[in-house]
Structure 1
Amino acid sequence: MAIVEDGPNGGFRGKVGSIYGYNRMGQWIIRGARRKSSKPPTEAQRLHRQKMKAIGKFCSENKAVFDFGYGLKKENGSKYGAFQLAQKHVFNDVLAFDADHNPVVNFENLNVFVGDLIPPAGTKVSVNEGRIFLEWIPNPVYDDEIYKLNLACVSLKDFCSLKLAVASARDGQCFVDVPVELNQKADYHVYIGFWDTYHGAFSNSTYCGVI
């Protein structure tokens, strides 16, 4: 089934008979059905597909964090939403292959929040008696109560956790109860970032470590 857009003389999106219609960069395209290739994939193609599969799984499991953390970066009219911007970042900067050609995530390169504020510095994380203890160096630029600290926990093997405004940016430290949704048998990588709650702006996230 196809959907006609912009009236009877406009383009269409979907399948009509044996042809397909879609919009690419504002231009309507019509093409025939793709034929399945009988050629075996090259090594580069195989690795690319493996990488895309790993990125799809990793980003889907952490979608709640990425939808929030990249929400202010999406532009009106762009084909890239918040989640697609996060996927692009993971593809370009975060996921690579080890010596055995297995996909690996470089968590220290991952940005779960993105923005123009100055990110937290001097970060530390530890866990004690079911509470997460976070430390950072207060930035005098963000001494107003409107600046808050956001917390994200990201894992390769389980779903993420996102906690908003867990402390004021000027505090320099805080305790947060370990989120009940976290799998106690999984490792979680911890990130914090500043949030201007009045003007609507983020900093890039800072990697704190693993718990």
Structure 2
Amino acid sequence: MAILEDGPNGGFRGKVGSVYGYKLNGEWVIRGVRTPSTKPPTAAQLLHREKMKINGEFCQRIKPILTFGYQFEAAKDLRRGAFQLGQKHVINSVIELDAASKPYLNMEKLQVFVGELMPPTGIEVRLENDILKLSWIPNPKYYDSIYKLNLALINPNKHMDFKMGVADAAQGECSIEIPVFKREKFDYHVYIGFWDMYKGTLSNSVYCGII
């Protein structure tokens, strides 16, 4: 079914009979039904499909983190939601090609949180049994208790863990029990970032290495 817009002389959006109507760059366009291409895909098309597959599977796995980490950026973008902005970041900045021209995830470039606050500095991370110990240099600007530290743990092929407000930014250190470390022996990439709980602002995340 099509929807007529701008009166009887306007364009239409949708399907009428065997044609489709839509608006492109401010102009109304009518086209016929697209038929599947019989041409074999090019190397570039195959590579793009592989990148999109990796992007889709990975972003879906860490969707709760991206939805939180990009929520304030999404408030500035009328076209994309938080998850879509996270997907765009991953496809544009995180997926790279190895020496054999195969796409892979460069986890060091992943930004799980984005925002205007200054990110943590001087970070040290270590694991003692199932206790994750974090330390950072307190920022004099963030001594109010509204500023918290967020933590994300990501294994690109298995699991993720996400903890909000694990400590005050002014503390400079914290110890966090991670139950999954008792159950599963996977490597996790660690990311932390500051969060202004009052204004709803984040810092960019900082990559802390693998534990």
Fold shared, TM-score > 0.5 on shorter chain = yes
Deviation at 1:13, TM superposition (A): 6.0
Q: TM-score, normalised by structure 2?
A: 0.87
Counterpart mapping for 1:36-47 below 5 A:
36-47=36-47
Matching residue of 2:172: 172
Whole-Å separation in 1 of the counterparts to 2:90 and 2:136: 25
Number of corresponding residues = 210
Whole-Å separation in 2 of the counterparts to 1:179 and 1:27: 56
Matching residue of 1:85: 85
Matching residue of 1:33: 33
Q: Deviations over 1:34-81 (max 9, x none)?
A: 221111122111111111111111111111100000000014672211
Counterpart mapping for 1:65-80 below 5 A:
65-75=65-75, 78-80=78-80
Whole-Å separation in 2 of the counterparts to 1:13 and 1:140: 55
Q: TM-score, normalised by structure 1?
A: 0.87
Instruction: Check conservation: 2:136, 2:173, Cα contact below 8 A.
Output: yes
Instruction: Check conservation: 1:160, 1:182, Cα contact below 8 A.
Output: no
Q: Deviations over 1:69-125 (max 9, x none)?
A: 000001467221111111111111111111223221111111000000000111122
Paired amino acid for 2:147: Y
Matching residue of 2:103: 103
Structure 2 residue runs without a partner (length 5+): none
CA RMSD of aligned residues (A): 2.7
Deviation at 1:28, TM superposition (A): 6.2
Instruction: Check conservation: 1:193, 1:206, Cα contact below 8 A.
Output: yes
Say which is worse superposed, 102-111 or 143-152, in terms of deviation. Answer: 102-111
Q: Secondary structure at the match of 1:86?
A: helix
Whole-Å separation in 2 of the counterparts to 1:25 and 1:160: 41
Matching residue of 2:128: 128
1:58 aligns with 2:58: yes
Whole-Å separation in 2 of the counterparts to 1:35 and 1:183: 50
Whole-Å separation in 2 of the counterparts to 1:21 and 1:47: 31
Matching residue of 2:144: 144
Q: Secondary structure at the match of 2:166?
A: strand
Instruction: Check conservation: 2:190, 2:208, Cα contact below 8 A.
Output: yes
CA distance 1:5–1:99, change in 2 (3 Å): farther
Say which is worse superposed, 170-179 or 30-39, in terms of deviation. Answer: 30-39
Structure 1 residue runs without a partner (length 5+): none
Instruction: Check conservation: 1:187, 1:210, Cα contact below 8 A.
Output: yes
Whole-Å separation in 2 of the counterparts to 1:147 and 1:66: 20
Deviation at 1:179, TM superposition (A): 4.4
Highest CA radius of gyration, 1 or 2?
2
Instruction: Check conservation: 2:146, 2:196, Cα contact below 8 A.
Output: yes
Whole-Å separation in 2 of the counterparts to 1:182 and 1:22: 55
Paired amino acid for 1:109: K
Say which is worse superposed, 100-109 or 5-14, in terms of deviation. Answer: 5-14
